[in-house]
Structure 1
Amino acid sequence: MYLNVHSHYSLRYGTMSIAKLIKEAADRGITQLVLTDLNNSTGVMEFMRECNAAGIKPVGGLEFRRNNRLLFIGIARNKEGMKELNDFLTFYNLKQKELPDRPPVFQNCYVIYPYSYGEKLEENEYLGIRFDELHQLYGKDLSGFRDRLVVLQPVVFSGKIAYRLHEYLRSVDLNTVLTKTGTADKCTPTDTFLPPGELETRFGQYPFILENTLKLLDNCVMDYQQGKIKLNRKTYTGSKTKDKELLEKLAFKGLAERYGEGHVKALEKVKYELEIIHDLDFCAYFLITWDIIQYSMRKGYYHVGRGSGANSTVAYCMRITDVDPLELDLYFDRFLNAQRSSPPDFDIDYSWDEREDVQRYIFEKYGAAHTALLGTMSTFKDRSIIREIGKVMGLPKAEIDSFTDRTQDAYNQNNPTFKKILAVCELMSNMPNQRSIHAGGVLISEEPITYYTALDLPPKGMPTVQWDMYEAEMIGYDKYDILSQRGIGHIKEAARLVEENRQISIDVHQVREFMKDPLLNARLKSGNTIGCFYIESPAMRQLLTKLKCDNYLTLVAASSIIRPGVAQSGMMKTYIQNYHHPEKVKYLHPVMKEQMQETYGVMVYQEDVIKVCIHYGGMNGSDADVLRRGMSGKYRSRMEFDKLVDKFFEGSKKLGREEAVTREVWRQVSSFAGYSFSKAHSASFAVESYQSLFLKTYYPIEFMVAVLNNYGGFYTRWLYVYELRKAGATVHLPCVNHSTPVVSICGTHAYLGFIGIQGLTLKLIEEIPLERIRNGNYLDLEDFVKRTRISLDQAIILIRTGALRFTGRSKKELLWDIHSLLGTKVKPGSDTQLFEPETKHYQLPELINTELEDAYHELELLGFPLSLSFFDLLQTSYRGDIRTNELIGYVGQIVKMVGLYVCEKTVHTKNNKKMWFGTFLDADGNFFDTTHFPGSTPGYPFRGTGCYLILGKVVEDFGFPSVEVIKFAKLPIVANPVLE
């Protein structure tokens, strides 16, 4: 009888999860239900699964609303009907049009209008009447629509507390206070499951309405295929046989290119993988990924194939990845095996400005009806809920701020308002809040995708499914991850600039050669890696220095042990110790030595866990990977996991391992597995790091310009400008006759772009260089004003930045001139003048401009000074007692240093107290690092960019010196002369 049930996917309206909703129905003996969430079908597939498991007949539908007003409810008679409803909603979502008052005539759906609907009904259309509307039937001639009346009993909540939660959700949705949320904005207090028999009793005088409702429900069958099925596009060529043949052809062709002729081990591995790929029906998945890569390569795009897919030798041979699994002893079973519970995928990274074109290609090649981006669901969580609840309660901002400040929790715990907020917060926590878009997932479906979901159109502008990756996996989709990252943009742009600036064409894919280059490895060892992908952060540069890392394999390990879990577990320190003293490593068993020698007895990678399970415990690759996933908390069932643990111990016993040794091996395996990182991921990152190292070493100016033009990396913009200067470039302030929107170079001269100027409009950023290209350089201020039609405030920004210095006049003279030209606020006309009127010139007194004034202008408008350094702005000439290069000679001593703040990292101690790690530049331009323990410095020691006086003790860790701070203060700078 329940044709209008809402789950919490009716965002900021429904209150029950699918599981809760079905339990409530089962407890009342309800045997069939229709899920009709508001303007979405997010939960329909989940609803069907859960209902089937609970013995309840599921029916899918949607409730269509416009401006919070019920238009009609659509109920699917079958799978085709669900597609009709999804297609209907998708059309209006993608066209970004309002829903109409009535839908088209559906072939496989019923439509239910509210009882107040007064138009003529089609054959598949009904009127839904609520029990509190039955009095409207009294004395009415029902003969004309007797068979069109059905029970409308909406379900939104369960119980009084849940109704109050609904009221809060509605107020949050409407962004208003509870008292202003009107009756029409909420459901009624009776929109819930009624006690067994009550609905029938309320409609007792109108049994035909009950009969109509049951008949409608009985005619609905969600005829979807049950069980685990694969919904991805099934073939690439149109035939599974041809897919198999093409995949083999590409794999063997690539095998010869990658390994040469007669490589027996590679041939065996490729044949082994091809058999599994075919048996598990993944030929099309590999071929479609290959097709995407082929398109991007034709376009000249750089890509990095990574993730567990980099464990595949077939993928390496097809140039999907550039990581050699044989060289790194990577296990294919880590990527694909018969027992893997979650679908594998390839992570393909592109430059941030090329990814969308690749996505467009996928949509065009595989069809809009079969392609969509993957969605994601954000939830109500953390302290943001408290803020939302406080707002709808009408609390003042100051009080809300105090409630969201964790340091005030002890003070607030006895506050009744705070207690009330926390109670609501607990109910709302982790409820779906809004649909969004996944970072890079793309689905390519065999059937039209609207059989399973309606589609949204997020700001990205591409159709997106209404559920997330976890639901996609449950339904039967394997996603393609088409991701973007800045690092690839740096590499691509740098290679282009080298060709443009030096007329040298370079191939950044010769990574094998890069790995052998002593200059690159020396740079790696020194930690001089600013701008280089994944290896430029302070923590990574420290690790490279401590390891004296000078080769690819060590870099792969470093890329893994830098991960937070590994570092915090103490494994990083153990690895560094063992790395420097391999002779002192004690292995539990010869098999452990054989398998762990590369990582000095430390399980650095997920693959290490698999290796131990296979070679020590005698397990096969599939079981070993499932066990590894289980230790990471990703097991399908506890019972299944326990069986595999038993299998490990039984296998070890059969191989004659000592029980005590086996238990210790298991202890280490199980403790490390949760922290370990995929070796294939690390290897992919290391390949890209070497590409960056090559460019930074041989083409440093072009590389740093590329980093700046791709919006930097780990650090703020000024540091990359500093590195650009350090690389040998003469860096100029923006200039209207030289600059483009981004940083431009000519030889060793670099001009900062207009994009970095605070307050300059996007229109001018684009127009100034375009007008210069069309009609030549600007002749003088007046010519510039006339051609760009610039406003006074924008002209002042450019003058103060120094962008009009080509005129030969000082900033103060130019400011006088611009006020003369535009001070009347009359915009210069765009009409062509027959005669050029003579400009009046005035004799000005001498207006002196200073470097200090320029530096302050630059600080304000660029965020950093270029005319002077940060050190030049200090009131004091003191630069510290020692510099970075001398630190190692002062280990254990108290020193005083002056450092320019670069960045900091906040961490929490075991006692949940805050401490910090800082990174600074000394006056010579060299980096040094600081540690700020709790209580040694103010509550929050850093006060933004600037120079600091640092008193601390020099400590050393594996040859890397740093300063443990005792006292710390920001140094004052000279006053702005304009303000004096």
Structure 2
Amino acid sequence: MTRYAELCAFSNFSFLRGASYPDELVLQAEKLGIEALAVTDVNTLAGVVRAHAAAKKTGLRFIVGARLSFADGTPDLLCYPSDRAAYGRLCKLLTRGKRRAAKGACDLSRADALELGEGQLFALLHEDPREPKIAETLRDFAAAYPGNVRLAAARRFRDDDRRRLNMFAATAARVGVPLIAVGDALYHIPARKPLQDILHCIREHCTVDEAGRALTANAERHLKAPREMLRLFADHPGAVEETIAFAARAQFSLDELRYEYPDESAGMSATPQAELERLAFAGAEARYPGGVPEKVRKALVHELALIDQLSYAPYFLTVHDIVRYARERGILCQGRGSAANSAVCYCLGVTSVDPALVDLLFERFVSAERDEPPDIDVDFEHERREEVIQYIYGKYGRARAGIAATVITYRTRSAIREVGKAMGLSEDVTGALAGGTWGGGSSGVSPERVREIGLDADDLRIKRTLALSKELIGFPRHLSQHTGGFVMTRGALEEVIPIGNAAMADRTFVEWDKDDLDALGMIKVDVLALGMLTCIAKSFALLKKHYRLEHDLASLPSEEPAVYDMICRADTLGVFQIESRAQMSMLPRLKPRNFYDLVIEVAIVRPGPIQGDMVHPYLRRRANKEQVRYPSRELEEVLGKTLGVPLFQEQAMKIAIVAAGFTPSEADGLRRAMATFRRTGTIHQYREKMVEGMVARGYERDFAERCFRQIEGFG
């Protein structure tokens, strides 16, 4: 049986080069019987987490690597860290190149790679065996790191292939390094070749007609089975065998990244956990000067015990410190999202949802059974958020803090425009085709729509454009900085993730996005900007200047009848959350008269309640046109405030717990599966359990189905 490890493959995170997703490469490699796979994107590790996650599911051995491309003319080097320390040096190397270049670029020299090459396995890859720098570079690296250097060779299916391979073999023998076979794959299957041609044209700003011989001459740059690679390297079988021996030495796995959150000051206490408990109970006393309600005290004890169990106290102290800094400088801020389910966050002053007045579901925020870090989103005035960001950089240093990445992908219109341009279509035609799309889906433009636009749906170039643009939708275009998600580490962040410059001055961001960080259990702190907080801050300033009234968010009158009169008339232009047409249409029907009514108003105009057919029953009951009925006494406590109709995601989760027998963590797993069901298809694992569980406990199947559809609408 032939054994082979593919050590050189581009994913589409080699932007506008690779024509396959990382997971597609992994799945195809496993299907072909390839023993191990390295995704070697150019000067980046942006796609490795996705490939790693896919490989764990299939059982394929994944090798972390990158293709180093140099600014000083040094031939490309494939680089694979052999252990955790070497991986840290690779990240540091890529960070160095990115920090000295503009956003999206990487300026590396041979000296950089030699300096940080300890523990790396190198394979030099070049197109032309006559290039004199090949031997020179091999000698430099072989002298510095003996035994760790190879000369890679790939077939190009040209008439000079045999001569090329023989020349590479001769160079390797002369320098004294082994020859190693690589596929140098640009895509996982041959069918992606046309898309790769388009990517080349987009990158080079030319049309397919103009590209000519710059495009690959065939569709052979795909992953190949071990037997096929042995056949292609029949004159040099040792080069195929060497892939297994070389891959065996690349032992580093992303599973070894033991993330360590920064140590936070214990302040007046012995440990961060003790300090968090002190701050939480002190905050509770301040929140409830008349005495802390027993319900809140129990919630604090429960949450703090779980936080202690999961060692999350430093994270909560970080968020508390950031909020403290903002408030000391008069910067309005407010926590939101799932953190609103936390009594600890309320008592720390991070959120404003009083746990004495609402039913919390802390497991939606933090769970011992769910292997995920907590996620606290804090909004700041958008004009002053930069002060907070620079405070974080100043406190932790840029070597230990960076903003997470966001992967900017091709959407329907941008894909049609780019592909149309590469296909040589005129701007008016591509504009018409792009304008013929609706929404953000990936369905593209139908032939009927093309005819409606006034174009020939049978035109071969138009048909090809639409087909290729549909393939391009969802492909990453480039990395950008997250809106405010900070990741921080105890040690050097640049030895965990490569860090690059953002387009904005004084901003840096890491190469991994939120999903990548979550997959590796890395905690981020979301420092977000909200324009409405700036408006409120300026309103406070105007009140003080013209009326000598001083207010903050806590001192504002909470239930002003005249304000609700305006809201009931839908006089809400410019009012955050209730200014959309859909909200303004609902306001006169719902007639909110207090803050909780507004909470319902915002929640009800969402896909979940609409899809679950919950809106009209609630409105009828609110208008006394329908009797309020509860499916059971145990659900009356869950649904009492919404007249027996589940409107909130938390209510749907509690129904799963109370009525279907879910554990809190199972209920959160249901929510998360629903949120991603269109992409991951895991929802079937929960549907039967919830619906049948409710039916078995005496609930009507129709009600159970509607509850399930309601959660599904949150996807």
Q: TM-score range by the shorter chain?
A: 0.7 to 0.9
Partner of 1:269: 299
Q: Residue 41 of structure 1: which of 42, 45, 56 is its match? A: 45
Q: Quick check: 1:349–1:482 contact (8 Å CA) kept in 2?
A: yes
Aligned-partner residue type, residue 264 of structure 2: Y
Distance of 2:605 and 2:568 partners within structure 1: 16
CA distance 1:241–1:234, shift in 2 (3 Å): farther
Aligned-partner residue type, residue 458 of structure 2: N
Partner of 2:711: 673
Distance of 1:12 and 1:519 partners within structure 2: 57
SS class of match (2:206): coil
Structure 1 residue 320: deviation in Å? 0.6
Distance of 2:659 and 2:246 partners within structure 1: 61
Structure 1 residue 308: deviation in Å? 1.0
Partner of 2:464: 420
SS class of match (2:352): coil
Structure 1 residue 642: deviation in Å? 5.1
Partner of 2:101: 96
1:478 correspondence with 2:523: yes
CA distance 1:25–1:238, shift in 2 (3 Å): farther
Partner of 2:482: 438
Distance of 1:177 and 1:363 partners within structure 2: 44
Give the 5 Å matches for 1:210-221: 214-221=244-251
Structure 1 residue 256: deviation in Å? 0.9
1:543 correspondence with 2:614: no
Q: Quick check: 1:604–1:676 contact (8 Å CA) kept in 2?
A: no
Structure 1 residue 210: deviation in Å? 5.2
Distance of 1:158 and 1:30 partners within structure 2: 12
CA distance 1:66–1:135, shift in 2 (3 Å): closer
Partner of 1:607: 650
Q: Higher relative CO (CA 8 A, sep ≥ 6), structure 1 or 2? A: 2
Q: Residue 122 of structure 1: which of 141, 148, 151 is its match? A: 141
SS class of match (1:336): coil
Distance of 2:534 and 2:97 partners within structure 1: 36
Distance of 2:228 and 2:659 partners within structure 1: 64
Aligned-partner residue type, residue 63 of structure 2: V
Distance of 1:141 and 1:618 partners within structure 2: 68
Structure 1 residue 37: deviation in Å? 0.6
Aligned-partner residue type, residue 3 of structure 1: L
Structure 1 residue 82: deviation in Å? 2.4
Aligned-partner residue type, residue 433 of structure 2: F
Aligned-partner residue type, residue 360 of structure 1: Q
Distance of 1:588 and 1:152 partners within structure 2: 64
Q: Which moved more, 1:584-593 or 1:633-642?
A: 633-642
Partner of 2:36: 32
SS class of match (1:179): helix
CA distance 1:74–1:236, shift in 2 (3 Å): same
Q: Quick check: 1:442–1:479 contact (8 Å CA) kept in 2?
A: yes
1:622 correspondence with 2:679: no
Partner of 1:587: 630
SS class of match (2:512): coil
Q: Quick check: 2:412–2:434 contact (8 Å CA) kept in 1?
A: no
SS class of match (2:66): strand
CA distance 1:676–1:101, shift in 2 (3 Å): closer
Structure 1 residue 196: deviation in Å? 3.0
Distance of 1:104 and 1:139 partners within structure 2: 24
Partner of 1:947: none
CA distance 1:358–1:127, shift in 2 (3 Å): same
Cα displacement string for residues 571-592 of structure 1 (whole angstroms, at most 9, x for unaligned residues): 4343333212177333333444
Structure 1 residue 107: deviation in Å? 0.8
Aligned-partner residue type, residue 579 of structure 2: E
Distance of 1:141 and 1:555 partners within structure 2: 75
1:494 correspondence with 2:539: yes
CA distance 1:310–1:65, shift in 2 (3 Å): same
Give the 5 Å matches for 1:520-599: 520-563=563-606, 565-567=608-610, 571-581=614-624, 584-599=627-642
Aligned-partner residue type, residue 395 of structure 2: K
Distance of 1:28 and 1:234 partners within structure 2: 43
Partner of 2:288: 259
Distance of 2:687 and 2:626 partners within structure 1: 36
Distance of 1:619 and 1:160 partners within structure 2: 46
CA distance 1:645–1:197, shift in 2 (3 Å): same
SS class of match (2:40): strand
Structure 1 residue 211: deviation in Å? 6.2
Q: Quick check: 2:45–2:511 contact (8 Å CA) kept in 1?
A: yes
SS class of match (1:464): strand
CA distance 1:516–1:642, shift in 2 (3 Å): closer
Distance of 1:523 and 1:595 partners within structure 2: 31
CA distance 1:662–1:160, shift in 2 (3 Å): closer
Structure 1 residue 490: deviation in Å? 0.2
Q: Quick check: 1:561–1:572 contact (8 Å CA) kept in 2?
A: yes
Distance of 1:331 and 1:431 partners within structure 2: 37
Corresponding pairs, count: 666
Partner of 2:91: 86
Cα displacement string for residues 772-800 of structure 1 (whole angstroms, at most 9, x for unaligned residues): xxxxxxxxxxxxxxxxxxxxxxxxxxxxx
Q: Quick check: 1:582–1:600 contact (8 Å CA) kept in 2?
A: no
Q: Quick check: 2:266–2:274 contact (8 Å CA) kept in 1?
A: no
Structure 1 residue 451: deviation in Å? 4.3
CA distance 1:597–1:104, shift in 2 (3 Å): closer
CA distance 1:536–1:643, shift in 2 (3 Å): closer
1:193 correspondence with 2:223: yes
Q: Quick check: 1:623–1:644 contact (8 Å CA) kept in 2?
A: no
Q: Residue 463 of structure 1: which of 500, 505, 508 is its match? A: 508
SS class of match (1:436): strand
Aligned-partner residue type, residue 502 of structure 2: P
Aligned-partner residue type, residue 43 of structure 2: N
Aligned-partner residue type, residue 74 of structure 1: C
Structure 1 residue 347: deviation in Å? 1.3
Partner of 1:290: 320
Partner of 2:421: 391
Structure 1 residue 4: deviation in Å? 1.9
Q: Quick check: 1:603–1:676 contact (8 Å CA) kept in 2?
A: no
Distance of 2:610 and 2:36 partners within structure 1: 53
Q: Quick check: 1:156–1:187 contact (8 Å CA) kept in 2?
A: no
CA distance 1:342–1:418, shift in 2 (3 Å): farther
Q: Quick check: 2:613–2:706 contact (8 Å CA) kept in 1?
A: no
Q: Residue 231 of structure 1: which of 256, 259, 268 is its match? A: 259
Partner of 1:845: none
Cα displacement string for residues 854-897 of structure 1 (whole angstroms, at most 9, x for unaligned residues): xxxxxxxxxxxxxxxxxxxxxxxxxxxxxxxxxxxxxxxxxxxx
Gaps of 5+ in 1: 678-980
Q: Residue 65 of structure 1: which of 62, 69, 73 is its match? A: 69
Q: Quick check: 1:79–1:451 contact (8 Å CA) kept in 2?
A: no
Partner of 2:444: none
Q: Quick check: 1:68–1:185 contact (8 Å CA) kept in 2?
A: no
Q: Quick check: 2:415–2:470 contact (8 Å CA) kept in 1?
A: no
Distance of 1:671 and 1:431 partners within structure 2: 30
Distance of 2:109 and 2:493 partners within structure 1: 26
Structure 1 residue 633: deviation in Å? 5.1
Q: Between the two proteins, what is the percent identity of the paired residues?
A: 24
SS class of match (1:477): coil
Structure 1 residue 631: deviation in Å? 4.8
1:21 correspondence with 2:45: no
Q: Residue 118 of structure 2: which of 104, 107, 117 is its match? A: 107
Q: Which moved more, 1:196-205 or 1:419-428?
A: 196-205
Q: Calculate the TM-score normalised by the size of structure 1.
A: 0.63
Distance of 1:138 and 1:473 partners within structure 2: 43
Q: Quick check: 2:630–2:636 contact (8 Å CA) kept in 1?
A: yes
Decide which structure has the larger Cα Rg and report it. 1
